[in-house]
Structures are given as C-alpha cells and as structure tokens.
Amino acid sequence: MLAQLNRSQNSSGTGSNVTQEALIDSLPEHLRPFVKQQNYQQYTPQDQAAWRFIMSELTNQLAESAHPVYLEGLAKTGISLDHIPSIEEMNDCLRDLDWRAVVVDGFIPPAIFMEFQALKILVIALDMRSADRLLYTPAPDIVHESAGHAPFIVDIDYAEFLQRFGEVGMKAISTKADLEQYEVIRQLSILKACPESKDEDIADAEETLKGLRERDDTPSEAALLTRLHWWTVEYGLVGSMEDYKIFGAGLLSSLGESQRCVDDLRVRKIPLTVNAVNTPYDITTEQPQLFVTKSCKHLTQVLEEFAASMCFVKGGAESVQKAIEAESVCTAVYDSGLQVSGRFSEVLCDVVGNATYILTEGPTQLAYKDKELSEHGVDAHAQGFGSPVGRLKDFHRCLSEYSVDELKTHGIRVGETVELEYLSGITVRGILREILRHNHRNLLLSFEDCSVNDLDGRVLFSPDWGVYDLAVGSTITSVFGGVADREKRQLFRPTPSATATNLSHDENLMKAYSAVADLNTRAKPVDVAELAPEIVNILSLYPNDWLIRSELLNVAAPCLKASLHEQLRDIVARSPESAEMIRRVLDH
C-alpha cells in the first residue's frame, strides 16, 4: 500500500442509509456518551464558503504533493468539494468499505479514540474552523477529520493498519499525568480556535501545559504510542527521502502546513523507525520535523515493533510495576484467563523477578474474557484485591487446569479446610466455600476464615477481613491500560456538552453569503449592476471580508472581477493576517 496502491477496495455495497440515532444505538454502551449528533443547520453559509475555499485550495495544492489515493479517496468516502459533508453521506460511502463514522465535540480521551478506531469507526469533529483560521487550526474540525482521515480508508492495507493501531492503542497504559495533559490540551485548542478567546486565558492555559510537560516524568506507553500515531497517521510522509508524498491527515487538512512541509530547508525529514516515539510534538503549532515511511507494510512493522515492547504483550512483574507507577486503573491477566482491573499498589517478587503476589487499592473488578464475573464487580472488591501468583508445591500444572476430581485428590474440597503452599513460600489456609470455573478452568477459590502469609511472616490476608477470593494462575501474561469490562466500569468522562464559545453571526451577512452561493449556480457571469442590494450592502459593511469576495470572483464578469481584485488588494494592506489567503485567491 501507499507505495503502489494496487489494492483499493471496491465500492459496490448496497443498502439504505443508517440514521445517526441507529448508529449510536449500535455502539458499545460506554462509547455512546462521547458521540454527538450532527445538526447540519449549525453550519452557516459562511462556513460552507470556508469549506469550498479550503477544499478547492487543498485539492489544487495537493494534486502533486499528496499521495494519489487522496483525491480518489475523497470521492469514495462521501467528501464533496462544494459542501460540508453530512455524517449520513459519509456513512453511506464508508459502509461499502466496512467502516463507519461518528461525530464528536473536539478532543476525546485518547483511549476512547483508539477504541473507536479499533472498531473501524472514524471519529469526526463537529466544528468547522472559523473564516479567519483557514490555513491552520489547533483544534480538531470537520475538515481535518473528514477530508484528512477518511480518504485513505479506501486502501485495504492502510485501513487494516489503522484498525490495528486502534487495537494496540486501547491496550496502552496511560498515567495520571497523561489525563491532566489531555484536559489542558483540549482546553487550549478550544481557546486558540475561538476568535473571541481572551489572550490572557490562552496564556494561562499555555503556562499550565508548559508546567505539565516540564515534569520529570518518563513518558507512558500511551504517550509514546500517541507520538507514533502523530508522526504517521496525522503527520506522515511516504516514499523515499528524496521523493515523498503526504498521507498524514494533519497535513492533508492544513493549507499552510501542507505547503510548507515540503520545504526541506524549513522542515527536516527523518526516516521512520520506532525511535520516532522519542520525538514529542506540539499540537498547537506547526511541526519542525516529519518522518518518512517507505510503505504501509513499513508502518505496520514499526507499529508491531513498538507493540512488542508494551506491557500487554510482555506481562510479568515488570509490567505490573509499570501499572503501579502509572497511578491509573490497569488490568493484569493471569494465565488462567482471570482479569484483575484496578489501581495496582504493590507486586511481590521472588529473587529472580517473578511476580508472587499482586495487590490493588480501591475499587477492583474481576473479569474473564472482558466480561465482569458475577458478584465480583467493584462493589464486591471496593477496598482492593490481593492474590498470589505462581505454582503450588507438588502440583505439576497450573492450578487452573485441574478438574474438580483432581483437586479432591490433592485435598482441595468445598466445605473443608484447605491449605495451599506456593513455591514462593506464600501459604493460604482457610475453609473453601466455592470454586468458580469457566470453560473447564478454575478461576477463583473463595475462602472463609482464611489467612494468607508470605515466607517472612507478612500477613497478606487475615480471617477477620472477610471472604478471601484467591485468583488462580501461575503467571501474569498481560497487563494493559483500563478495565477489562468497559460496560460495567467507565473510567473516562464524556466530553462536556458546552465547549468553545458559540459565536454570534450577523444574519444579514449570512443572507449575503447565501445569495452569493446562489449566484454560483448560474452559468452566466454577474456584473456590478446585477448584484442584489443585500450583497452590495454587505460589501460596504464588511470591507475586510475577503472570503465573500472570493466567492463572488467565481461568477464575476470582467468589470466586477477587476473591482473585487482591487478590494482584495486593499484588504491585504489593512489586514496583513489575511494576506496569504488573498494571495491564493488573486493567483487563480
């Protein structure tokens, strides 16, 4: 893929449109609160004009610098050049590619974003960037999310890479500090994207973010993986160091950066390796370096190389220790399949580094195959959970593999006092009340009047603490971020209903934009004398509105065109911040 692009997916599906309500209802319950509904009427005539300007400029500008699949993919994923796409339009096309799309309000937690991606669902931001921030926006918007991310889904290899990235990403361990940074970045992006934001509010948010980034913290798995996502999916280049093309969504949706990024003197190019995770990024500004991947196969290789270093693959005591240091809710998986989800507080080890006992503090969930075990949710284990890890003396297999009859031959019978001695020296002694089995495996042994002690005499559980649930398993095979059963326990707050300031709009200005848009449907050029009074009036009231003049140029007869050119040059003199956009208009 991306090097040859000879495996594009077919667009031959059939079926009726799926409503936003039906799509939301089809999602896992814990993901639904993050999804909004697109009210298409929220997009003003000025927003539509901004979309047309951006897409016209992008497709012209990227004709040579973007990978060829970009232009092909726009059409195949429901992205029109002349109007902001509706989510129904996109889903009607994405369905044929076995993907879907939902709309959200700005940034959502990275773990939630990755879970959507793993489910082959594109996350589309609702907002349209404002007319005075068309070259670049620090906040996710519908241009970036739809015209940036969607086009490459038409390629099978890339789509599979993107889904795999989601699967790996949702397993990453994040830290308490990660969540703090996410909240500040979200707020800062909203402030920067809103023209009505106060400079002091932006400065305060920037200072807070700077302080968080200057902490002497080792980046988490989630932070490192987010960097890899940034330098590939968002800001990736593909090809050779001498001949590369753009495929990253952040570049594809930025008029300014997609043009400047190909300047090798301005932006350094680096061959993509797994070492890219060591390069941080700033989402609120342009990037000083970019990474070049050889192909999609190369992308997948780098992803799998990093994944092999992650705790969900490695497991063991070292991975539990990383979960402890993260100070966030994680899940440890025994080789029996039992999953323990909570905030890990301690891991005991033997002399060679094997985990012998794990402990959590606070609400803990026990699960199997990502489903919470009955009566073993956070209410049952509200104060925490602790259990041995390892083999029992004189047992040749993991305790989970023994049948009920085999357990009886070893003196393990329900209703009787049982003593278990682990190779680590930990002993468990109490009255066995229940054996919880799933798929012919022992997962939990529940004891009353139970005492648990290690070789040094440390009391790990006392009879007066209540029922002791012993997790069965000889090793910790995996540790990952978050909880096993996300439906039963939700860790992330949905995006707030109120975010950026809602901008007020001059209704007369919006009517003038609509009138100009109507003119664009006419085949006959329009001259000065033919302009409707509301358009003439708005041109007078808004002498610095270059965008409406740009729209008029598309249908202007020679006399009107000359006048508009003169007005645009005057705007450059009065408003230098609009100069680059106006230059693009005048160059056509």
Residue 503: predicted pLDDT = 56
CA distance 181 to 176: 9
pLDDT for 501 equals: 43
Distance CA 128, CA 141 (A): 5
8 A C-beta contact, residue 555 and residue 520: yes
Nearest to 255 by CA among 152, 129, 160: 129
Decide whether 20-305 matches 329-481 in CATH topology: no
Distances (CA, A) of 55 to 226, 300, 338, 576, 582: 27, 30, 51, 23, 15
Distance CA 146, CA 133 (A): 18
Kind plus residue range of the DSSP H or E element containing 158: helix 156-169
CB atoms within 10 A of CB 254: 25
The pLDDT value recorded for residue 216 is 59
Q: Delimit the domains of the chain by residue range.
A: 20-305, 329-481, 507-587
Q: What is residue 500's predicted lDDT score, i.e. its pLDDT?
A: 42
Please give the pLDDT value at position 209: 77
Domain 20-305 bears CATH identifier 3.40.50.450: no
Q: Which parts of the chain register pLDDT below 50? A: 1, 3-16, 498-501
Q: What distance in Å separates the CA atoms of residue 236 and residue 483, rounded to the nearest whole number?
A: 31
**pLDDT (tens digit, 9 = 90+) per residue, 389-419?**
999 999 999 999 999 999 999 999 999 999 9
Contact indicator for 291, 303 with CB cutoff of 8 Å: no
The confidence score (pLDDT) of residue 296 equals 87
Question: Can you tell me the distance from the alpha carbon of 555 to that of 550, in angstroms, rounded to the nearest whole number?
Answer: 10
Helical packing angle, 558-574 and 546-553, nearest 10°: 160
DSSP state of 37: -
Q: Which CATH architecture has domain 329-481?
A: Roll (2.30)
What's the pLDDT tens digit per position in 224-245?
999 999 999 999 999 999 999 9
Rounded Cα distance, 242 and 444, in Å: 59
**Per-residue pLDDT, 46:** 95
| pLDDT, position 496 | 58
